[in-house]
Amino acid sequence: MKKLLLTGFEPFLKHPLNPTMKIAQELHGVEIGNYKVHSEILPVEFNQTGDIFIAHIKEKSPDAVLSLGLAGGRSQITPERIAININDGPADNRGYQPVDEPIIEGGPDGYFTTLPVRAMVEKLNEIGLPAKISNTAGAYLCNHIMYRALQFAAEERPEMKAGFIHIPASHELAVQQGGRMPSWSHEDLKAAVYTCIEVLAEE
Ligand code: PCA
C-alpha cells in the first residue's frame, strides 16, 4: 500500500474555522484506492510551517503529498497548477508579514504541480462537483507549502508527487461570516477531496 500525506491548515486571518482541518482529520487512516492516508494539520506561520511540513515528509516518506487550503470567496474546487518563489501577504498567525520575500533564496521562480490536476478536474466535473485548474495559489502560506514540497521533491525525492488543492468555504464557515461567501457542504468538500485522491490512485 502506498502512503499519502494529506495536510490541512489551522484557522487564519478572519476565519474562525478552516474546513480543510476537519476534512484532513476525517480522512486520516482511510484507505483510498492503493493509498493509505496520513493527515497532519499545519499552522499558518511563514517562519515555522515549511520546516514542520518538510519534517513530516521526511518522517513519513510518503509516495505523494496532497495539501489542502481554504480559498474563501472561490466557488469551485481548484487544484493548483503552479507554486511561485514568493512570500507576500497579510500578517500570519504570529503577526509576521513578509513583503516580496523569496521562499528559498536563489531557488527556481516556480514549480509545476506533479499531481494529475487535469484528470482531477475532469473527474470532479463528471460527478457533478464544480472544479477547475487554478493558475495561482497566491503568495501566502498555501503557495508557500506547495513550493516547499515541490522543491524538496525536485532536490531529494524525484518519485514523490506533490501538489495543492484550494477549496471553497464550508456552509459552517460561511454562516459564521454572515453568509457573504460562496460555500459548499462539508460532505461535498470531503467527497471532492476523496475523489481527487481516487484519481491520484488510479494514475
Ligand atoms: N489558506 C491560506 C493559508 C491557509 C489556508 O487554508 C492560503 O490560501 O494561503
Q: So what's the pLDDT on residue 103?
A: 98
Please give the Cα distance from 141 to 86 (Å, whole number): 10
Please give the Cα distance from 40 to 53 (Å, whole number): 9
* 33, burial (CB in 10 Å: exposed 0-12, middle 13-18, buried 19+): middle
CA dist 199 → 35, 169, 203 (Å): 11, 23, 6
The reply to whether 196 belongs to the active site is no
Q: So what's the pLDDT on residue 179?
A: 85
Q: Which residue numbers in the chain have pLDDT < 50? A: none
Q: Is the CB of 20 under 6 A from ligand 1?
A: yes
pLDDT in tens, 83-136: 999 999 999 999 999 999 999 999 999 999 999 999 999 999 999 999 999 999
Please give the Cα distance from 45 to 149 (Å, whole number): 16
The reply to whether 142 belongs to the active site is yes
User: What mean pLDDT is reported for the chain?
Assistant: 98
Q: Report how far ligand 1's centroid is from the alpha carbon of 71 (Å).
A: 6
